[in-house]
Chains A and B, each alone.
Chain A
């Protein structure tokens, strides 16, 4: 769990807490709910906790007086975020148009693989392949640029 939170968020300072809280909630919920995939469920709890934390942090850092507290980390994060968008944007423009189209439909429009396949006249299997390949392309582009998605959700 700790490993997931660390890799997911890059936040060593929060990872222990988030992992611990996730397990606690998992245990509490497992009494009343039937859980098909323990890991998927736990990861989703952790994701929600992280989203929650980032929202709070953003609110807190907005509220802090800049004279009183240096907000360098959050400026760093804003810059990181801009760089990340730049890298992703470039990578998207460089990939085959069909793959880009599949990613847009899947991630932005939440279309099913079958619907995407029908619209673009390719098999659902090919759609899946494009999604997988596209995700890896984007991840690699970030890694090569040395940009990480920290505190992102």
Chain B
């Protein structure tokens, strides 16, 4: 067992030294790739020896050894053969100690990777300022998780809708994953709405964004355009100037199904509207609605389609 391990370490050490050289011929390179792919243990051994060989600590120790070459105590080097047998047990103990240390670091504060989650209840919006200068305005009933690393800015929109004003950075892209649609940009302002299980709406107010809906479906949207993706169906949208209406408490419906209107109202008010019959949701409405005034909106919708509404429990019920 020990012999085999020594062998791997020996090979790994050999490769670490060889691969440090600036130039390798194709044959050596191929042999290295074969060796690495052969066994995951090779990766571990190579990584651990690289960590040693590259470490600043080794350079410091070598310098000090170089400065005082004659100070060697060769007599201490003699390890009585009888003690050799204990060696493995001690190595196992050391392994456990190293593991413990590693765990200690895992739970330490991540200084470089910043991660945070934010949520809003129904009826409340929230402005989140990120460390890169970008801002996210969250609509009601919305949940997001933000992860910023030195080379990436990622937000996952887990629920609801948010308006992103992204600080421009040349190298570090900003990506929003809305589960089923992924938007990536360098610096723009856009809105992503995770309307229901499968509907995602992206609206661009400034700059250019790229939307990836999976299965090789990818679009580039300039400012003033938008996209609604629902499963296999895709619809392009025109977007007004400025910023999304909901930021100012408005929703502009344009032959929009009632269920979508209700969904938006329900983000903005703590008292949710329910439909007595799901079929009502398919009726279409057009108009500019104030999302903070559910009663006024219900009155309008009821008048358009000859419906009724009433207070039910903690919310409202819309019926025929």
Which A positions have Cβ atoms within 8 angstroms of B? 3-14, 17, 21, 36-40, 43, 47, 49, 52-53, 56-57, 60-61, 69, 72-73, 76, 80-81, 84-85, 88-89, 92-95, 97, 100-101, 103-104, 106-108, 128, 131-133, 135-136, 138-140, 142-153
Contacts and interface: CB of A to CB of B under 8 A. Distances in A.
A138 B9 CA distance: 12
A140 B91 contact: yes
Given A36-B26, A89-B65, A142-B52, 15 more contacts: A4-B47, A6-B47, A14-B112, A36-B25, A37-B28, A40-B29, A40-B33, A43-B47, A85-B61, A93-B71, A101-B69, A104-B66, A136-B10, A143-B94, A144-B94
Contacts of B91: 140, 143-144
Interface stretch (B101-109, B216-224, B305-313): B101-109
A3 B19 CA distance: 18
Interface stretch (B72-80, B132-140, B194-202, B268-276): B72-80
Interface string B17-31: 101000011101110
A147 to B, nearest CB: 8
Contact of A132 (B13, B26, B105, B150): B13
Contact of A47 (B37, B40, B54, B61): B54
Dominant SS at the A interface?
Answer: helix
A76 B108 CA distance: 11
A100 B105 CA distance: 32
15 contacts: A4-B46, A13-B106, A36-B29, A37-B33, A38-B33, A40-B19, A88-B61, A93-B72, A97-B69, A100-B65, A106-B17, A135-B53, A140-B91, A148-B102, A149-B57
A148 B10 contact: no
Contact of A94 (B32, B64, B74, B93): B74
A149 B46 contact: no
B58 interface: yes
A38 B98 CA distance: 30
Nearest to B6: A136
Given A36-B24, A73-B105, A144-B94, A149 B51 contact: yes
A151 B112 CA distance: 13
B50 A8 contact: yes
B1 interface: no
B133 to A, nearest CB: 17
A52 B150 contact: yes
Q: Which of A47, A88, A92, A140 has the most CB of B within 10 A?
A: A88
Interface in B123-166: 149-152
Nearest to B103: A12
A98 to B, nearest CB: 11
A131 B12 CA distance: 12
B111 interface: yes
A89 B106 contact: no
A84 B57 contact: yes
A55 to B, nearest CB: 10
Contacts of B55: 84, 149, 152-153
Contacts of A7: 43-44, 47-48, 51
Contacts of B14: 128, 132
Contacts of A12: 102, 105-106
A53 B150 contact: yes
B116 interface: no
A52 B37 CA distance: 27
A116 B268 CA distance: 75
Interface in B202-224: none
Contact of B17 (A36, A104, A135, A140): A135
B182 to A, nearest CB: 14
Nearest to A11: B105
Nearest to B40: A3
A14 to B, nearest CB: 7
Contact of B97 (A8, A21, A132, A146): A146
B49 A139 contact: yes
B9 A139 contact: yes
B83 interface: no
A33 B192 CA distance: 36
